[in-house]
């Protein structure tokens, strides 16, 4: 039983390594943790295209906030 569990864990690791490599080749910007979360969400039935759209929107919002913070910081130092 332990060897079956070990084999299963190795298969999962291998699969995640392959997915991470594909992710890197596609320049998704996802690290292993983020990719694992996305895979788990898809396994739970989340639409992959919808998940992709949410990630893109979150990245846009994050970038916008960074730009606003940089502009705000520049104004205080003038």
Amino acid 71: pLDDT? 85
1 confidence band (pLDDT: 50, 70, 90): low
- The sign of the CA dihedral 28, 34, 39, 42 is negative
Contact indicator for 51, 38 with CB cutoff of 8 Å: yes
Amino acid 49: pLDDT? 97
pLDDT tens-digit series, residues 21-63: 999 999 999 999 999 999 999 999 999 999 999 999 999 999 9
């Amino acid at each position: 039983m332990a060897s079956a569990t070990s084999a299963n864990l190795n298969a999962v690791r291998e699969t995640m390594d392959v997915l991470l490599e594909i992710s890197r080749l596609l320049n998704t910007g996802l690290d292993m943790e983020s990719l694992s979360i996305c895979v788990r969400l898809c396994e739970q039935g989340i639409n992959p295209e919808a998940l992709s759209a949410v990630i893109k929107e979150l990245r846009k919002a994050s970038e916008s906030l960074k730009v606003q913070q940089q502009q705000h910081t520049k104004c205080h130092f003038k």
